[in-house]
Amino acid sequence: MAQKPHVAIFPSPGMGHLIPLAELAKKLALRYDLSSTFIVPSIGPPPEAQTKVLGSLPAGINYISLPPVSFDDLPGIRAETQISLTITRSLSSIRDVLKSLVASTRLVALVLDLFGTDVIDIAMEFSVPSYIASLSTGCATPVHGRDLPDPIQDRKDDAYKWFLHHSSRHGLAEGILLNSFVDLEPETIKALQDQELGNLPPIYPVGPIINSGSSIGVSGHECLQWMDDQPHGSVLYISFGSGGTLSFEQLNELAMGLEISEQKFLWVVRSPDKSASASYFSAKSNTDPFSFLPEGFLDRTEGQGLVVPSWAPQIQVLSHGSTGGFLTHCGWNSILESIVHGVPLIAWPLYAEQKTNAVLLSAGLKVALRPEVDGNGLVGREEIAKVVKGLMQGGEGVAIRNRMKGLKEAAAKAVSEEGSSTKSLHELVSRWKN
């Protein structure tokens, strides 16, 4: 009997890359009977959240952890640079794994993300076609320079060179998967598919592909019991993704803003740090985050809110009836998860391409309020209380909620049997199988 087609999947470091690719692999296995192997690079010991996701993959999806690389020689480099270098420093072990997969499986494709383009060369050595999974927006809404992705803000920084490097290599891929759908970004997708505009590989909008809650078992589940006791649609969920951290001053303003808003909240708190991406590779705090909250805050807000350290079961929270809004750092996965569950947003971007995503949400799709940053680079407590009340109680909040409902329906349609994303994935898999 002919061997099943097999797909190699190479996520660059970070939960925001691993989670949607894990969900893609599950879809390929369940719907198309395609098996796959994750090739997982790492910097130090794997974060708990990563181990949980990989450990809960169903039969037919394997993973191989690459030997960790060290950055002792390059202290203080930016996260984006570190991600790219993790991959270049892992190339020889990636080659070994691909070689053994080619020998032992019917390997039909290698799927990698934006930061993994150096692996395309190795796949070519083995004549395996590469596909880039684009896990964020192409934002067609006009964007101010300051809201463009972080790595392109400073041309002297290595992160900028890496961004150009990876962007220039997209043409080497056999195809590009978008974790998006036609009704969410019609202009962008139309432009990318317009063959007259350039030599881009075929584009496959296959989203939204979102977290199905495989992080069950990771800390933070006690909060769901608290949510069960709250009134319908009353709670604002606050999370800055797997890696986002606030400064000490900003953490305090947020705490005070929530308190004076008098709205219910569930807040995933991390210890403060000067770098907004301080927890990116660990997805948790190494110190007790609660010790940085304003004095008496936990007592004063008892009953009004709940704080959980480092990690919450986000999908279970977003799909919970008590959730009425989400203050998000605008990571693309968090955005898609909110759309699928119809949760209106407050856009509070921190790093990477999050500010661009925030523009799409607030100015483009108009499904988010975006608080203003003051002259000191902080969002003040009064501003926070204003947007929180605006979203949870104000007329603007109602309009945003209704628009989000529309997007929720469009997302469900895209992944339905006859939906645009289902058709697109079907086309891609047919190409792989033949």
Catalytic residues: 17, 113
Instruction: CB nearer to ligand UDP: give 98 or 339.
Output: 339
Question: Exposed, middle or buried by CB within 10 Å (0-12, 13-18, 19+), for 74?
Answer: exposed
Please give the helix or strand (H or E) that residue 39 lies within, else none: strand 35-40
Residue nearest to ligand UDP (CB): 16
Which residues, including other chains, have CB under 8 Å from residue 308's CB and lie 6 or more apart? 219, 220, 222, 223, 266, 267, 268, 269
Q: Please, what is the Cα angle at 347 between 352 and 308, to 5 degrees?
A: 90
Q: Which residues of 106-127 are buried (b: 16+ CB within 10 A; e: fewer)?
A: ebbbbbbbbbbbbbbebbeeee
Count of residues in the chain: 434
Instruction: CB nearer to ligand UDP: give 14 or 41.
Output: 14
Look up tokens 């395609």; give the residue.
34
How far apart CA 272 and CA 292 sit, in angstroms, is 7
Name the minimum Å distance from CB 312 to ligand UDP. 4
Instruction: CB nearer to ligand UDP: give 131 or 237.
Output: 237
* Amino acid in position 427: E
Q: Which residues of 153-169 are buried (b: 16+ CB within 10 A; e: fewer)?
A: eeeebbbbebbeebeeb
Instruction: CB nearer to ligand UDP: give 324 or 380.
Output: 324
* Amino acid in position 183: D
Name the minimum Å distance from CB 277 to ligand UDP. 8
Name the minimum Å distance from CB 288 to ligand UDP. 17
Tokens found for residue 166? 């990876």
The residues that touch ligand UDP, with contacts defined as CB under 6 A, are 14-16, 19, 211, 215, 239, 241-243, 268, 311-312, 314-315, 331-334, 337
How far apart CA 311 and CA 332 sit, in angstroms, is 17
In Å, how far are 249, 282, 385 from 265, measured between CA atoms?
20, 25, 12
Instruction: CB nearer to ligand UDP: give 121 or 222.
Output: 222
Tokens found for residue 372? 């203003």
Q: Please, what is the Cα angle at 385 between 266 and 338, to 5 degrees?
A: 45
Instruction: CB nearer to ligand UDP: give 35 or 338.
Output: 338
Name the minimum Å distance from CB 136 to ligand UDP. 8
Instruction: CB nearer to ligand UDP: give 13 or 371.
Output: 13
Name the minimum Å distance from CB 18 to ligand UDP. 9
Name the minimum Å distance from CB 137 to ligand UDP. 11
Name the minimum Å distance from CB 231 to ligand UDP. 23
Closest CA to 233 of 338, 328, 321, 342: 321
Closest CA to 369 of 339, 325, 338: 325
Name the minimum Å distance from CB 293 to ligand UDP. 17
Tokens found for residue 371? 């608080």
What one-character-per-residue DSSP string does 178-242 give? ESS-TTTSHHHHHHHH-GGG--PPPEEE-------STTBTBS-TTHHHHHHTSPTT-EEEEE-TT
Instruction: CB nearer to ligand UDP: give 204 or 332.
Output: 332
